[in-house]
Amino acid sequence: MSEQRFETWPGIEVDPGTFASHVEALRRSGGARPEHLAELSLAHAAARGDAAGLPAFDKHILQEVLPSVRRVDASEDFLDEVRQVLRARLLVGQDGAPPRIAGYTGRGPLAPRCSSGARRSRCASGAWSSPPGTPSRTRRSTHPRWA
């Protein structure tokens, strides 16, 4: 397996044996494509709460998501809120389940997966909101630009 994944994210500490097992399991199901191994190692580290993985996730992945969010509302308060919602949605496990970022398979780029999470997220500001239980395809935004 390429050492590129570790060179791409300096300071991230991923157990090579654990990561290799993870990659092998994903490859059996069509994941862990070579061109996405660096992102897969970042997701793997972030899912485990690696101290260097979380800032790298913010800097390299969330920054790619923000341009689409800025089209809705470019205020720093709104962008900070979206960052926080995405961090919680992707990096925090719920009800004993692993964080959603752990489900990244390396079949495609990581940032678009996170971007779709941003579009589906419900922000406290009401930019993305719908009644509980409303299917995502029928949700209506309360943000003035999307209403």
SS (H, E, C) 55-92: HHHHHHHHHHHHHHHHCCCCCHHHHHHHHHHHHHHHHC
Per the CB < 8 A criterion, the answer to whether 22 and 58 are in contact is no
- Domain range holding 14? 4-127
Q: How many domains does the chain have?
A: 1
69 in a domain, yes or no?
yes
What pLDDT sits at residue 119?
Answer: 61
Q: Cβ-count burial of 1 within 10 angstroms (0-12 exposed, 13-18 middle, 19+ buried)?
A: middle
Determine, yes or no, domain membership for 142. no
This prediction has a pTM of 0.74
User: What's the Rg (C-alpha) of the chain?
Assistant: 16
User: Residues 20-49: pLDDT tens digits?
Assistant: 999 999 999 999 999 999 999 999 999 999
- Domain contains 98: yes
Whether 24 maps to a domain, the answer reads: yes
In a domain, 89, yes or no: yes
pLDDT score of 115: 74
Task: Answer yes or no: is 140 within a domain.
Answer: no
Low-confidence ranges of the chain (pLDDT < 70): 1-6, 116-147
